[in-house]
């Protein structure tokens, strides 16, 4: 559908729904939605060309104060009626532009995703990359945290928490999921089904298709809602809509949602398994006669992901907390191998369907703290490097990796143990991201510097509460 038709449809909807405000949403560098809102009477067809100005120096990882003027221009294909704003409001997702040149800003994550798609097409390998993310999350009833010069703590609570089995609740009705046993229980153990169903209804209302919803493994309110796979850019857009809807639906119900990878000690964390497939001229390219029904292209794609996983994780697992999830003994994969059905492998080939259209690879390391435009683009570029260079992924590992004897396990490479290690890997291994000018040296350097200065050093220089448990009596 061309832009003129989309713009006409937008104004028809504005008139039909008696819209009063237009909300303009865009992505900052680390991965959070930002927005500004304008009255509908200052919004016209020229807004899709001229955009709206804002201060880029106030956005994390972007401009210096002496070059701060920037533009956001709405994409008419992304409109939705915002269900969480009281006064009728229509929302658009925006691209970020340099006002002097009207070129898309090189650090705009959505621009990077668009360049990744264009690079894919330029190779002739495929014309579409489908992405299907599974973003897990926790629903909590109470969250408190603070860090000062002389104190630091966090406290989270959930009516579902196994730690509350003995709490006086007048009455305590029990039925709380045990640690690591929260996967697929029916109510009353799953007390969040109605909340998730409300989330699903809100997702459908804004145009995000949903395939399933269920309770997840961890105690304390861990959930998953599966949204349908989409082409790369639309998938990233819809993942942000998903997080927005899930958080706000919970907020309206006096609950709070976090996509933090590891908020609870001793139980499973929240991952974001990413399903990927390449298509050309409407035909799937990952189905074939190889291992697990894969094509040679798919196996090479896996080879690229496994080769670059250590540097990929600096983008797909971009927080210090991410590496508290990627530890042995839970379901998060820390060993770099591929397998059909085996969920302890970094790359899995789902075997639910024999249809060639369903053939895909599942990268299980990422988590939902990532910026989806950057994460999906980086995964695509790593996989394409494997296809271009015919990288052999090695032999599959169909055993339970966690039960492997030590002599076998030592031959299986592992994920980085920290964000600092992943950032170092990205520093030395990022040429595959530079192809087609998808990522630039400036983007890579800014990402590494931002993460090191704002996050890695921030954690490293502050006392941790657990250190008092270990060291206070030295």
Share in percent of the chain as helix, strand, coil (round to 5)? 40, 20, 40
pLDDT of residue 427: 98
467 is catalytic: no
49 is catalytic: no
Most confident of the ranges 81-85, 98-102, 408-412: 81-85
224 is catalytic: yes
- Helix 372-388 to helix 109-123 angle (10° resolution) is 20
Q: State what percent of residues in the chain have pLDDT above 70.
A: 98
341 is catalytic: no
453 is catalytic: no
129-133, 332-336, 405-409: segment of lowest average pLDDT: 405-409
Site of tokens 């949903």: 210
pLDDT tens for each residue of 348-387: 999 887 899 999 999 999 999 999 999 999 999 999 999 9
Single out the catalytic residue among 214, 343, 424, 435. Answer: 343
pLDDT tens for each residue of 229-272: 999 999 999 999 999 999 999 999 999 999 999 999 999 999 99
pLDDT of residue 363: 97
Q: What is the pTM of this model?
A: 0.96
Single out the catalytic residue among 237, 364, 385, 455. Answer: 364
**Rounded Cα–Cα distance for residues 66 and 63 (Å):** 8
Single out the catalytic residue among 82, 160, 190, 362. Answer: 362
pLDDT tens for each residue of 425-439: 999 999 999 999 999
Residues linked to residue 340 through DSSP beta bridges, in sequence order? 349
pLDDT tens for each residue of 456-468: 999 999 999 999 9
300 is catalytic: no
pLDDT of residue 223: 97
Most confident of the ranges 99-103, 272-276, 336-340: 272-276
């Amino acid at each position: 559908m061309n832009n003129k038709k989309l713009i006409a449809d937008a104004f028809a909807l504005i008139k039909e729904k008696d819209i009063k405000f237009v909300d303009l949403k865009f992505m900052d560098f680390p991965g959070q939605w930002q927005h500004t809102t304008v009255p509908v009477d200052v919004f016209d067809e020229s807004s899709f060309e001229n955009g709206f100005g804002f201060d880029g120096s106030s956005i994390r990882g972007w401009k210096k104060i002496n070059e701060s003027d920037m533009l956001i221009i709405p994409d008419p294909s992304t409109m939705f009626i915002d269900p969480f704003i009281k006064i009728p409001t229509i929302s658009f997702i925006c691209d970020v532009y340099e006002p002097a040149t009207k070129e898309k800003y090189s650090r705009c994550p959505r621009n990077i995703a668009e360049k990744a798609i264009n690079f894919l097409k330029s190779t002739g390998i495929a014309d579409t990359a489908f992405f299907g993310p599974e973003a897990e999350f926790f629903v909590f009833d109470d969250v408190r945290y603070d860090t000062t010069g002389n104190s630091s703590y966090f406290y989270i609570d959930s009516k579902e928490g196994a730690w509350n089995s003995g709490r006086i609740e007048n009455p305590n009705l029990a039925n709380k999921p045990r640690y690591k046993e929260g996967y697929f229980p029916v109510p009353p153990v799953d007390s969040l089904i109605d909340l998730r169903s409300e989330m699903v209804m809100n997702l459908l209302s804004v145009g995000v298709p949903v395939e399933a919803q269920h309770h997840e493994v961890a105690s304390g309110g861990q959930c998953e809602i599966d949204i349908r796979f989409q082409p790369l850019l639309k998938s990233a857009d819809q993942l942000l809509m998903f997080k927005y809807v899930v958080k706000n639906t919970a907020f309206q119900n006096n609950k709070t949602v976090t996509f933090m990878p590891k908020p609870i000690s001793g139980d499973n964390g929240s991952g974001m398994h990413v399903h990927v497939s390449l298509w050309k001229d409407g035909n799937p390219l990952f189905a074939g006669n190889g291992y697990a029904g894969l094509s040679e292209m798919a196996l090479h794609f896996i080879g690229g992901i496994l080769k670059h996983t250590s540097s990929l994780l600096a983008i797909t697992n971009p927080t210090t907390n991410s590496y508290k999830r990627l530890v042995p003994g839970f379901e998060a994969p820390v060993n770099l191998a591929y397998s059909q059905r085996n969920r302890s492998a970094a790359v899995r080939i789902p075997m639910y369907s024999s249809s060639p259209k369903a053939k895909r690879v599942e990268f299980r390391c990422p988590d939902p703290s990532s910026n989806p435009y950057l994460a999906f683009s980086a995964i695509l570029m790593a996989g394409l490097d494997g296809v271009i260079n015919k990288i052999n992924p090695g032999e599959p590992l169909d055993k339970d990796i966690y039960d492997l004897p030590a002599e076998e396990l030592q031959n299986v490479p592992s994920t980085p143990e920290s964000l600092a290690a992943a950032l170092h890997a990205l520093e030395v291994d990022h040429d595959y991201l530079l192809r087609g000018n998808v990522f630039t040296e400036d983007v890579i350097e800014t990402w590494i510097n931002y993460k090191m200065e704002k996050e890695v050093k921030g954690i490293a220089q502050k006392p941790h509460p657990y250190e008092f448990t270990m060291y206070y009596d030295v």
